[in-house]
Amino acid sequence: MTDDISMGEAARALDVSIDTLRRWDRAGRLQTTRDSRNRRRVPVEEITRLRSAVARHKTGAPLSARNRFAGIVESVEVDGVMALVEIRAGPHFITAAITRDAAEELGLAPGMPAVAAVKATSVMVESS
């Protein structure tokens, strides 16, 4: 008989949420069994198989933001208490609205390297 563990234990072992495991189960990416109370159980072999597939992206930064775009400051437009900063990161441009104080404190100026760290609860995507 194969050893299995609870969904909570599996989620902790893989460093993902239980909801993620449920989605993987529905999509066929994760094989689960059911116990006598109809609760999902995860075979230990599945944890071993998936562990390499869910390696987390590590930024090495002291921020929780995972989306980081290193680039060059293209422009800094200061108006009142706000500043618009445009950073060219490869072929992409990121525009950030920050406070004037922050722009001055960071010494932002065209041509200098900078990193745009993006953390958002909502990201809009448009097809091209």
Task: Provide the token pair at 4.
Answer: 């299995």
Does domain 4-54 bear CATH number 1.10.1660.10? Answer: yes
- According to the model, what pLDDT value does residue 1 have? 46
State pLDDT tens for residues 17-34.
899 899 999 999 899 999
Domain with CATH 1.10.1660.10 in the chain: 4-54
Domain with CATH 2.40.50.100 in the chain: 67-118
Does domain 67-118 bear CATH number 3.90.470.20? Answer: no
- Low-confidence residues of the chain, pLDDT below 50? 1
Rounded to two decimals, the pTM is 0.51
d(CA 38, CA 71): 51
- According to the model, what pLDDT value does residue 124 have? 75
3 state DSSP class of 123? coil
CB 77 within 8 A of CB 84: yes
Residues 6 or more apart from 54 whose CB is under 8 A from it? 14, 15, 16
State phi, psi for 37 to the nearest 5 degrees. -100, 15
